[in-house]
A and B are shown apart, each in its own frame.
Chain A
Amino acid sequence: MTHTGRESPPDLSIIVPLFNEEDNVRPLYEAITTVMEDQGFHYELLLVDDGSRDRTFANARDIALQDTRLRVVRFRRNYGQTPAMAAGIDHARGRILVTMDGDLQNDPADIPRLLSKIDEGYDIAVGWRMKRKEKFLSRRFPSMVANRIIARVTGVPIRDNGCSLKAYRASIIKHVPLYNEMHRFIPAVSSVAGPQIVEVGVNDRKRLHGQSKYGLSRIYKVVLDLTTIKTLLNLIRHPMRLFGSSAGIAMMLALLILLPQLYTFLVTESFSLIQTSLALLLATLGIFLGFLGALCELIYRTGNLKLERVSLLSATIDNGISRPRIDKTEI
């Protein structure tokens, strides 16, 4: 066995978040190692132990002591899947990052096909479970609905957001904000950087060990998070527009009520206190929203998510010196 973990950074980092998966650690390690060694990749496997209460960490550590290509990041307590993904992405050293589930439902044999898509010039290759092995009514149907909604709202037409098996160009994904429960929307969120996304059909296997950790209840959360993300993406692109336009509407309404009052006052020297107050209230709202818009501009300016920087990550540059990246068609 060759140990090449320390000397030079690997080309490829495979990130797997684990939470109470003690029985799956070794099979997972073996499956990935087999595929990677077959293909001769210079890779690292990053296991993120999300505060498991069973022997997940101990099992992973035992393997890591013998194989330096395996790295284990252990959380202090359980934080959830998104922070685990974020930690993996932060600590990965590869040029290309692959994320997958720790429950062996993803097939490591699909990884080479995702990678070949990245080599073709795509920035994100998304796994798409073509033949899902779960119950239709409780799992597949809700997820179909959710995917349709997500695709419609975000404008990123992916058929399977729930599949964790994805490959990313590290330079892009390392700049994408990732918190709360955003791991389901990574392609949508990363659309701030305008990446080229491609879908790749992958295998779906039945769970062998351990318990599944999801249920129907997530639809509500998905919708809420989605609204937030959609608004944020718009807000980031045009900080002033959302607040500015709502401020405009409030102001227009105020004027609409105030002008007739003014006319009545000039003609009859009397006016409705209620209507005038209403108009002033709306005007105040307009001013308030306008200033909030300005505040958003300020926040964007001091933040570290800069569109002008992020946009370059996925751009093709043809300046006569460097070769432009391979032509590709958007999905």
Chain B
Amino acid sequence: MSQVELSVIIPVGERSENVVTLYSIYRDAVARAGLHYEFIFVIDGHYDEITQRLKTLKADGEPLTIINFSRPFGEATAISAGFQNAKAELIMTLPAYEQIIPDEIPALIQACQAPEVDMVTASRRRKDHWFNQLQARMFNRTLGRFADFPFTDTGCGVRVFRRQVMDEVEIYGDLHRFLPLLAWQQGFQIQEIKVDQAPSDMFLRLFRPGLYLRRALDLLIAIFLSKFNKRPLRFFGLVGATATTVGLLGLAVLIFQRLVLAQSLADRPALLLCALVLVLGVQLVAIGLVGETIIFTHAREIKEYKIREIIN
């Protein structure tokens, strides 16, 4: 058997279509790229019916690897697990439902074979409900604005990348969403390709409020990690210094009123409020300093740069 050139990882979770038709569609599209491929399905939870169908396919001689999690571990872990069992140099991740028109897949694979490209991401030309577009755009714009990330569809699960990318980028929890961002921070070259959205991807998505909160937190973490990675004091210090200033100004006003206007100070809640804000400010600055200390004392272990090659 010849060398596998492309490993396709499909994490199967809550949202999945009929795997048999999905597999045949994906397989036909991937085959058109002309590479020797394998498929890795990672079943994230108890989906016995899906597992059974995949086993039948495998018995028919399809190049399948099936990884069954004992309980749901999340998409990022599923992708990592798939990656650890992938044999090829080139890795592709596809969602367990059609997100883009399958005809676009060969072009994505070919783009990633260019020597200077480490990762290819798909960006959907969206034609779905305006509310979907709005929330997706808000997410991506925020990322672009605050994390200086120039790509426009981080949420699209269709990605092709070299093995080295996942060797160096660790993803966990909900971070699979940010794989391109994290890879980009590591200095990998990313190319984004505009593709057409699949019709089955165009239903209206309304999530539970809890999910929006989680997404917002993810966004905050991604921004913090990319902007203030090595300079916590710039982040904590700014907020802390603002709070301290506000607190001090408030106190100054109160003292002025006490001394000049002879208003009683002891029974005014405003005094407590100002002191509270001041204390908060001092605490934030102090935490920023602790962060700086961590980085300063560990700086020789943390490499800030990634090397592409060394000559001689």
A179 near B230: Cβ-Cβ < 8 Å: yes
Given A64-B312, A72-B310, A75-B305, CB of A274 within 8 Å of CB of B266: yes
B298 pairs with A303, CB closer than 8 A = yes
Q: Is the CB of B297 within 8 A of A236?
A: yes
Q: How far is the CB of A54 from chain B (nearest CB, A)?
A: 15
Q: Is the CB of A278 within 8 A of B312?
A: no
Tell me which residues across on chain A come within 8 A of B271, comparing CB atoms. 274, 278
| A72-B310, A74-B310, A76-B188 as given contacts; A278 in contact with B305, CB under 8 Å | no
Q: Which of A96-104, A115-123, A195-203, A282-290 participates in binding chain B? A: A282-290
Nearest CB on A from B292, distance (A): 6
Q: Are A177 and B275 interface neighbours, CB within 8 A?
A: no
Closest 5 CB pairs of A and B: A303-B297, A76-B187, A177-B299, A83-B305, A77-B187
B101: interface (CB < 8 Å): no
- Cβ 8 A contact of A76, one of B186, B266, B300: B186
A180 to B231, Cβ gap below 8 A?
yes
Residues of B within 8 A of A300 (CB): 293, 297
**Contact stretch, chosen from B13-21, B83-91, B155-163, B282-290:** B282-290
Cα–Cα, bound, A289→B282 (Å) = 9
Instruction: Give, as a whole number of angstroms, the nearest-CB distance from A299 to chain B.
Output: 5
Interface membership of A262, Cβ < 8 A? no
Closest to A304 in B: B300
Can you sample 7 A-B contacts with CB below 8 Å?
Answer: A5-B312, A77-B306, A84-B305, A228-B292, A282-B275, A292-B290, A303-B297
Do the beta carbons of A74 and B297 come within 8 Å of each other? no
Residue A299 contacts which of B272, B293, B300, B307 (CB distance < 8 angstroms)?
B293
CA distance A71 to B309 in the complex (A): 11
Contact of B300 among A71, A75, A177 (CB under 8 A): A177
B145 within 8 A of A: no
Query: Once bound together, how far apart are the Cα atoms of A324 and B133, in whole Å?
Result: 72
Give the interface size bracket for A toward B: 35 or more
Q: How many residues of B contact A (CB 8 A)?
A: 44
Residue of B nearest to A232 (CB): B296
B311 in contact (CB, < 8 A): yes
Q: Is the CB of A177 within 8 A of B269?
A: no
Give A285 to B286 CA distance when docked, in angstroms: 11
B88 CB, nearest partner CB in chain A, Å? 22
Tell me, rounded to whole Å, the shortest Cβ–Cβ distance linking B187 to chain A: 3
Residue A39 CB within 8 A of the other chain = no
Contact call B269/A304, Cβ cutoff below 8 A: no
With a cutoff of 8 Å between Cβ atoms, the chain A residues found around residue B303 in the complex are: 86, 90
Shortest CB-to-CB span from B254 to chain A, Å, is 11
Distance in Å: Cβ of A149 to nearest Cβ of chain B: 18
Determine which of B276, B292, B298 lies in contact with A281 in the assembled complex, contact meaning CB atoms within 8 Å. B276
Q: Which residues of A does B touch, CB under 8 Å?
A: 5, 51, 60-61, 64-65, 68, 70-77, 79, 82-84, 86-87, 90-91, 175, 177-180, 224, 228, 231-232, 235-236, 239, 242-243, 246, 272-275, 277-278, 281-282, 284-285, 288-289, 292, 295-296, 299-300, 302-305
Q: How far is the CA of A51 from the CA of B116 in the complex (A)?
A: 13
Given the complex, which residues of B lie within 8 Å of A292, measured CB to CB? 286-287, 290
CA distance A190 to B301 in the complex (A): 17
Interface centre among B287, B299, B302 (most CB of A within 10 A): B299
Residue among B268, B302, B312 with max Cβ neighbours from chain A (10 Å): B312
Select from chain B the residue with minimum beta-carbon distance to A174.
Answer: B300
Task: Provide the bound-state CA to CA distance between A272 and B271, in Å.
Answer: 12
Question: With A74-B307, A246-B286, A272-B267 given, can you name 16 additional A-B contacts, CB distance below 8 Å?
Answer: A60-B311, A71-B310, A73-B310, A76-B186, A76-B188, A79-B187, A79-B305, A86-B303, A231-B292, A246-B282, A281-B275, A281-B276, A285-B282, A289-B286, A300-B297, A304-B297
Q: Which residues of chain B have C-beta atoms less than 8 A from A61's C-beta?
A: 311
Residue of A nearest to B297 (CB): A303
B233 within 8 A of A: yes
Among A76, A86, A285, which residue has its beta carbon within 8 angstroms of that of B306? A76
Q: Are B272 and A179 in contact (CB under 8 A)?
A: no
CA distance A230 to B76 in the complex (A): 41
Is B71 in the interface zone, CB < 8 Å from A? no
Query: What is the CB-to-nearest-CB distance from A331 to chain B, in angstroms, rounded to a whole number?
Result: 25
- Give which listed residue, B230, B268, B279, contacts A274 with CB less than 8 A: B268
- Given A61-B311, A272-B266, answer yes or no on A179-B304 (Cβ-Cβ < 8 Å): yes
Q: B234 within 8 Å of A by Cβ?
A: yes
Q: Which of B267, B289, B297 contacts A231 (CB 8 A)?
A: B289
Q: Which of the residues A71, A82, A272 comes within 8 Å of B312, measured between beta carbons?
A: A71
Q: Does any Cβ of A come within 8 Å of B208's Cβ?
A: no
The answer to the question of B217 belonging to the interface, with a C-beta cut-off of 8 Å to chain A, is no
CB <8 Å contact, B308 and A70:
no
Chain A CB within 8 A of B255 CB = no
